[in-house]
Amino acid sequence: SESSCSKDCEDKVSQFYDRILSNKDIFVHALSSSPLLKQNCVIEDIRLGSLQIIMRVPTVESLDCLSRSYQCGELSGLVNRTLISQRVMEDLGISNLVLQVKMKDSDVKKVRDELISIHAMRSSSRSGSVGKVVRPKTSLGISRHEKGWCLN
């Protein structure tokens, strides 16, 4: 029945979450080691709520690179290759699992504005030090929608 299929799907997603979170350090290291992310951000954490990958983006150029990688599907491929292995699918008893990566335009704009503001503060400082400047963060996460689960 459809409800038992839905329950089975939810159980498998819970198992997937548990596997990711119980091996969080390994996955953070694996994602952080990829050239795309290594050059453009620092992976700080993986959390539930939905599955969120928390990144610290140091520059507007880095943000632009991540945004372009997202738009062409490269970021989605990286996340899928890193988080989903054949063994994970076998252990969960599924034949296919695809995570869909989402980055909201509004979040990208917010982070961009914060980075520009930080740069302006640093540029206007005569002494060259503004104190500790906190880099803005952006995140990716898995959430449920009408067609299943999606990484956003």
Beta bridge partners of 53: 46, 140
Segment-wise mean pLDDT, segments of 10 residues, the chain, 152 residues: 61 83 87 85 77 83 90 90 85 81 87 86 61 51 40 40
φ and ψ of 148, to 5 deg = 130, -140
- The pLDDT assigned to 100 comes to 80
The 148-151 sheet, strands edge to edge: 42-47, 51-56, 137-145, 148-151
- Which residues lie below 8 Å from residue 126, measured CB to CB, with a gap of 6+? none
- The pLDDT assigned to 143 comes to 42
- The pLDDT assigned to 71 comes to 92
